[in-house]
Structure 1
Amino acid sequence: MTEISREVGVVLRRRVIDNPWIDHMWSPVTVLDDVPATAPWTVLSQEADATLYYAGPATIDLFSTDTANYRDNLADGAPRIWIALRRQDGGAELELTKVTADPTEGEALFESGTDVIGTVPMSPDIASWVAAFVDEFHVEHVFHKRKRDGTSDDRRRGEDPSGRRRDDA
């Protein structure tokens, strides 16, 4: 298995919301092609009801075993990057836990109980990097349907080796 990685920067928005149970909501805004020389959790801009933060650096890992998933993401026409964050010790501070270009892994994050998850458009530069990886390492796997071979499993189910049902009466 081949693996490559790329560091990126992550920008988040903290938005004030009118809700009786929570007073704000986090959402990813963008993934920067490169890591800027900015400290994590630096405020980038502030408005009355929303604040943009540079959350910090993160790593996108690509694995040769997942090229079909990356290819599907790119073929969609609007490739996405999934970003997951988790609250530290149940508090207000967030930590970046995962940034991925794999849609299967991204969808699994939605079901994992991660505190904040979202997608952002994949930049053309990152899309080119992912496409080059897919071009170099993707191997098409052909599906082969298994044929019955008349083993004892077939006989236990009451079938003869040809797959027909046996009449025991």
Structure 2
Amino acid sequence: MIYNSKMYRAMPIGVVLRKAPGVTRWADWCWRASAVLPGAGPADWRELRREGEAVEYHAATVTLELHGAETEAYLHGLGSAVPSVYVIMREGEGDAPLDVALVTASPYEAQDYTDSAEEIVEKVPMPPGLVAWVHDFVDEFHQDEEFVKRKRGKTRVDLVQDGIGDPRIGKPSDIYASPALKRRRML
């Protein structure tokens, strides 16, 4: 079910995870997000395809949400060579090896999840229908922000130099004191 409201859209997205034999002796299996299924129904690790030892599962269906305030990020993602969504996963609890936490179309939000190293972030190409859906949302709600150069205040702070530190705090004599304080002590 696709949910529409003012400056917000949501769509269920199925996440396909591929399990393949590991390429090193330290990893028995290699897991990666290989595809997304827009408008998918509920799923819980349903096997889709098997090729030798490699297996693809419809691991989960989560909601992809688009927000009007994030259109700059979506536009950035759509402008890349391969428009993609980002699947955020965590180590699985129970029988599932991975839990799908989120799917986002925002490369900025995906980058935020990579900072913690607790989540696994996979970049998955968007199907053409999903590209069109996100592009329509951006066309409807994106507004370019005009660049405003910051202006410096007219106060001249460079005319008076009191030295380093707070003059109210007593200092040993070998530490640099404000020139104004040295003059007062000499008088």
TM above 0.5, yes or no, is yes
Listed as ranges, the matches of 1:18-167 within 5 Å are 18-36=23-41, 39-89=43-93, 93-151=97-155, 154-155=156-157, 158=158
SS in 2 for 1:11: strand
Q: Which structure is larger by alpha-carbon Rg, 1 or 2? A: 2
Q: Matched residues, percent identical?
A: 33
SS in 1 for 2:135: helix
Measured against aligned partners, the alpha-carbon deviations of 1:16-66 in whole angstroms (never above 9, x if no partner) come to 1143332112101111122146x3101112233311101121111111111
- Count of residue pairs brought into register by the alignment: 156
Is the contact made by 1:27 and 1:116 (CA closer than 8 Å) also made in structure 2? no
Amino acid at match of 2:115: E
Q: Distance in 1 between matches of 2:89 and 2:52?
A: 24
**Structure with bigger RCO (C-alpha 8 Å, 6+ apart):** 1
Return 5+ residue gaps in structure 1 as ranges: 161-169
The alignment yields a C-alpha RMSD, in angstroms, of 2.3
TM-score scaled by length of structure 1: 0.81
Is the contact made by 1:26 and 1:116 (CA closer than 8 Å) also made in structure 2? no
Q: Distance in 2 between matches of 1:159 and 1:103?
A: 46
SS in 2 for 1:71: helix
Instruction: Summarize the Cα distance change of 1:147–1:61 in structure 2 as closer, same or farther, 3 Å threshold.
Output: same
TM-score scaled by length of structure 2: 0.74
Q: Distance in 1 between matches of 2:68 and 2:27?
A: 41
Q: Which residue number corresponds to residue 16 of structure 1?
A: 21
